[in-house]
Amino acid sequence: MRANILGLLALIFGLFACREPFDPEIPQQLTSVLVVEGYLDTEGLESELRISRTVPIDAKTTFAPEIGASVNLYSESGAAFSLAEKVPGVYVFARDLPENANYRLEIVLRGGERFESTLIRPIITPDIIDAGFVRDQEGVEVYVNTQGNEAADDFLWTYEETWIFRPRIRTIYIYDPATRNVRDRTQAEQISLCFKSEQNPDILLETSSRFQNQVVFRKTITEIPVGDERIQERYSILISQKAIDAAAVKFWETLKRNTEDIGSIFSPLPSQISGNIKAVGNSKILVLGQISMGVIKQRRIYINLSDVSPWGYTNPIFSGCVVAEEPVRFPAYQSAFASGVEVPARELMEGTTIVAYYPTERRCADCTLYASRTVPDFWKND
């Protein structure tokens, strides 16, 4: 959602554009709008509430977390449930609560400003009937099938992607400055297998009553073009399905329309996009956000390279990566490898003895320059 909010700011600045250079003074209230986003699961699944502020288009960062806020969820009976700040601006919730009650979220910032939501009624989200993918000439389409009902007609989907990232050249060797020699890497030192993860910024909506028997068939979650690095070896996607009410649909549709039609003078400004959270005691304080509650249904699928081959993956960051033709022998290990710019990639054998190593640039062999070597807790290899 942060990317979508930035789109709103782009529109604001665009409205001031002209043929002559012009540096408009944008009111501070429009360049530092509080943004609250989240869907709180009511069956104990850890879910997140993100609180941040919009930033000017020319800012060096795209995320300005609101830290140190006091966040509490109150039931109609008066019971309070606090949300803890896990990382700056991200407040986590993991409670099993009755869905047949109403709740209200309250946020108090460090400066004392108070915000609260309207009453929220949780919705029990129907199961994901199926999730899968199809390969076509353009690439891979990931989809879900589900069915709505009277209580859950509208859906919002989010997803998280994780994939294996490999360097162009793989090596099991490392230069050890303590011994000034080359040795095998330990598991903790391996640089040939890493993982990348991303959360999607898209707004994926659908109304099940538009279809016969409220069956949503093959709703596209994402499309992966041929050659994309995400399926260079093994890819995983966790799809989260969330039922939302009519007010939330209106908010997300407005935001989606704005981000897809950025620059139009008819697109709504932040102050015109209503949500279900407001400032308490000062209606002039702008806040953007829609908080929903309910049961989140999830499905994870994996896609292997063998499932979609031929794929034709190439990565321009590895352009020019080769193993050098001239080997480095023992007396020169320190001068060749101590700086870390180059690493030993291949061994040169004489009989059964390694007598030298062929080097390559670290950028070509070290996946940790681009991703994390920590294996995700959920990862399965088959």
Alpha helix segments (H runs only) across the chain:
2-15, 28-31, 246-260, 305-308, 333-337, 362-365
**In the numeric block, which tokens belong to residue 21?**
């250079």
Round to whole Å and give the CA distance between 222 and 18.
Answer: 37
pLDDT tens figures, 254-280? 888 876 665 444 455 555 677 999 999
Separation of alpha carbons 294 and 42, rounded Å: 5
The first and second tokens of residue 236, run together, are 């995983």
* Dist. CA 254–CA 276, nearest whole Å: 14
pLDDT, tens digit, 9 for 90 and up, residues 324-365: 999 999 999 999 999 999 999 999 999 999 999 999 999 999
> Among residues of the chain, what percentage have pLDDT more than 90?
79
Q: How confident is the model at residue 15 (pLDDT cuts 50, 70, 90)?
A: very low
User: What are the extents of the domains in the chain?
Assistant: 2-165+196-308, 173-195+312-369
What pLDDT, on a 0 to 100 scale, did the predictor assign at position 205? 97
Write the pLDDT tens digit of every residue in 188-200: 999 999 999 998 8
Name residue, tokens 């709505």: 148
pLDDT attached to residue 26: 46
Predicted local confidence at residue 2, as pLDDT: 52
Q: Which residues pair with 318 in a beta bridge?
A: none
Residue 239: strand pairing partners: 159, 299
Q: Is the dihedral of CA 202, 207, 210, 216 positive or negative?
A: positive
Task: Output 12 or 145, whichever has higher pLDDT.
Answer: 145
